Amino acid sequence: MDVWLHGEDGVLAPAHEVVAADEADASPAAPGSAPSPGPLVAEALAALGAQHMFVVHGLDGLDEITTTTGTLVAEITLKHVRQYEIHPRDVGLPTAQTADLVGGDPAANAEIIRDILAGEPGPRRDIVLLNAAAVIYAAGKAHDLQHGVAVAAAALDSGAARQKLAALAELTNAAAAS
């Protein structure tokens, strides 16, 4: 389960692993099993003053918004929780195969990131676009997820995302050297 929080202070941040549970425990409830903790987490965060956030769980078991199938979403806006399911087609993206999203060792994963930031089309870019869209929407920089996908695509295609990564790398390398 992934949680993205836009708090009262205006800061948007990931809050990973909010619930210490196996992914199987966070999946949709089967008859006779425990329900997903996602709505409970969302209600708790709403009560704590979350301005706009998402608690998500891919129906394929991914702890993020997935492009292989649907994703359960609990969206919090000003202390109100709305639960729904989204699919990649809802925002104009194709459905991917799990094998298309698999990474590798650190060097292979770094290459995947470089390819995505260079604008290479495909399923890996699509899942990045969809997850970035949720963050962009939660931050108030898009009016819905589909618009968030367009904003994220523009950031990749313009090179702005690649430039931000380069600036971050420069900053962290400088900090490590001092």
Output the pLDDT for position 35: 57
81: left (phi over 0), alpha (psi -120 to 50) or beta: beta
The sheet with strand 80-86 has its strands ordered as 12-14, 2-6, 52-58, 71-77, 80-86
Q: What does the pLDDT look like over 132-177, one tens digit per residue?
A: 999 999 999 999 999 999 999 999 999 999 999 999 999 999 999 9
* From 7-16, 32-41, 55-64, the region with the lowest mean pLDDT: 7-16
Higher pLDDT, 50 or 98: 98
Output the pLDDT for position 36: 66
Predicted TM-score of the model (pTM): 0.77
Burial class of residue 6, CB neighbours in 10 A (0-12, 13-18, 19+)? buried
Higher pLDDT, 27 or 36: 36
Rg (CA), the chain: 17
Output the pLDDT for position 146: 97
Inform me whether the pLDDT recorded for 19 exceeds 60.
no
Indicate the pLDDT class of residue 8, thresholds 50, 70 and 90. very low
Quote the mean pLDDT of the chain: 82
Spell out the domain ranges in the chain: 2-177
Distance of CA 163 to the CA centre of its chain: 21
- CATH number for 2-177: choose from 3.30.200.20, 3.40.50.920, 3.40.1030.10, 3.40.50.300: 3.40.1030.10
Contact status, residue 147 vs residue 166, Cβ threshold 8 Å: no
Indicate the pLDDT class of residue 6, thresholds 50, 70 and 90. very low
Q: What does the pLDDT look like over 31-48, one tens digit per residue?
A: 344 456 777 777 777 677
Question: Percent of the chain, pLDDT > 90?
Answer: 62
Inform me whether the pLDDT recorded for 28 exceeds 80.
no
